[in-house]
Structure 1
């Protein structure tokens, strides 16, 4: 039934001449040129333009042009921006999204798909409760640590390291547990802070590290893969609901197609961009993940104690990781 509806929608849009768009939607994000975020948003915009026959245009604005993550969340509600691509900051919107802040809880993208299929109602409900609508999921990726002090092999190596984190309480708690000095900071401010020594390091997927050129101001990359963070193609619930059902279906369908594109692109970049970072002269080491997993137990205990239904969520996600 859904495929039939979407096919009908696409057919109706295709009949519209490719002239000036009837509807223009703004999509703001924090990704730099060449980032996975940029590729994701551009793919989404192209899909919407194609499926609507040009009657709906998504204009893209990267590099925090329309605001940093928290500003974009506010602008969504005000109707000043139509879409944003938040990631870790969602844990500050609702504690439910903190499940993705648990170290090593997501094994791979197939696991993430299973979590999405089984638990999307939970995440959508949390978004709706705060005035947002998740149009679809994309990816930020598996995060690794860069810094200028020393290679990070175990949590003990983070002792005293001033490490930038996104604005999310669980990432801060995690790195405090590991012994670092976490400093929440907007992504757009990180390069200068690293360059001037305000912070010693940061943690991000390769796509964000390389596109933001952190390899130019960092000595060490430690492959920890400590957290996998999804990204959310996010809209205001109120403003998204003003579109016709046909347009909503098309926008959601493009989000699903974009997720598949993003996962494939991210897998390519993981190999390609690690080479870019190494070629810049950054020293790379494989961290002792077992040591990090062992040190992460208190974070899980805190999440279970402080978040309603936290232990149930942890158990469900872990069980889905063991599914075939």
Structure 2
């Protein structure tokens, strides 16, 4: 009887070892709203490739783009629930904490060198802890990009050219206020719904980085591209409830890779801007430059409202602008 028990025990141990050896790696779901070829897609895929090389059989980052796991607002909710592990929110972070509205201030960020300085001096020490208190762990700051205006009505040169134009904007109070100040009629809408809204005339135009405009095929349903560069939006690789459940070694490798991707994301973005402007022109879009001083002058009320309404808003603005020197 004892011998039989030992045999059973040995067999059970062998089964357990075999089961452990063939265990599937932990799947880490990364959701974003970008279409194939977009900046979100390229940075997320590069991150996954690098992270998975380090993780080996322990875990695997799987990317779900094109709003497969939900739009930006839904992804934030799923991070809180722990049903999505990582997401790449941008403008929608203003719904998490008003301080993220800093990046809704028109012409705040001068170039990508300036963006990198703001990332290190303001996002990491100031905004990341604010997000942490709301239940979101920002692992790294990548990019969404410098935003441009497209529409089917007329070339936009000065703010008054936007008068009466129905313009899709992402969810966030400050983008709405900005375009109201310029004279447009802005409406928040999920990115996945924009193409049809433009195609059917529900919206006259939209504003996005080139790295979202081209992959979303807006050139097929938009005539004019006005290079306004009115806002620079970061993208935040963000974890939620499930982060604490991951093994520490997995957390470490993912977090390290996320930060490693920060300069890479800026480089990919800069290259895409050059490449996609040419492609949009080839697709038949009429491209023009805007009168930036006129837009900057029309943006003053937005800055004043942010400074007044957001705790520490004026300091965030002042500290960010001070970093532009020598950028």
TM-score of the superposed pair, with normalisation by structure 2? 0.91
Partner residue of 2:129 out of 125, 134, 142: 125
Who is 2:43 aligned against?
40
Displacement of 1:295: 0.6
Aligned to 2:205: 201
Stretches of structure 2 that go unaligned for 5 or more consecutive residues are 1-20
Correspondence 1:69-218 to 2 at 5 A: 69-119=72-122, 120-218=124-222
Find the aligned partners of 1:245 and 1:106 in 2 and give their Cα distance. 35
Number of aligned positions between the proteins:
307
- State whether residues 20 and 55 of structure 1, in contact with CA within 8 Å, keep that contact through their aligned partners in structure 2: no
Once the two structures are superposed, residues 61-113 of structure 1 have per-residue CA deviations (whole angstroms, 9 ceiling, x without a partner) of 11111101101100111111001111111111110100000000011111111
CA shift for structure 1 position 239 = 2.3
SS of match in other structure, 1:25: strand
Distance in 2 (CA, whole Å) between partners of 1:53 and 1:243 is: 15
Query: For the residues of structure 2 that align with 1:42 and 1:83, how far apart are their CA atoms?
Result: 13
Q: Secondary structure at the match of 1:143?
A: strand
More displaced stretch, 76-85 vs 46-55: 46-55
TM-score (norm 1): 0.92
| Counterpart selection for 2:52 from 39, 49, 53 | 49
Give structure 1 regions of 4+ aligned residues with deviation exceeding 6 angstroms. none
Q: What is aligned with 2:32? A: 29
Structure 1 equivalent of residue 256 of structure 2: 253
RMSD: 1.5
Query: How big is each residue's C-alpha offset from its partner over 1:208-261, in whole Å with a ceiling of 9 and x where there is no partner?
Result: 00000000000100000000000010111x421233333222111111122222
The alignment partner of 1:49 has SS state of helix
Q: In 1, Cα distance between the equivalents of 2:114 and 2:129? A: 21
Unaligned runs of 5+ in 1: 1-17
How far apart are the structure 1 equivalents of 2:299 and 2:62?
Answer: 41
- 8 Å contact from structure 2 (residues 145, 233) kept in 1: yes
Partner in structure 1 of residue 7 of structure 2 = none
> What is the rounded CA distance, in whole Å, between the counterparts of 1:19 and 1:258 in structure 2?
31
Partners of 1:223 and 1:19 in 2: CA distance? 53
* Bigger shift: residues 185-194 or 85-94: 85-94
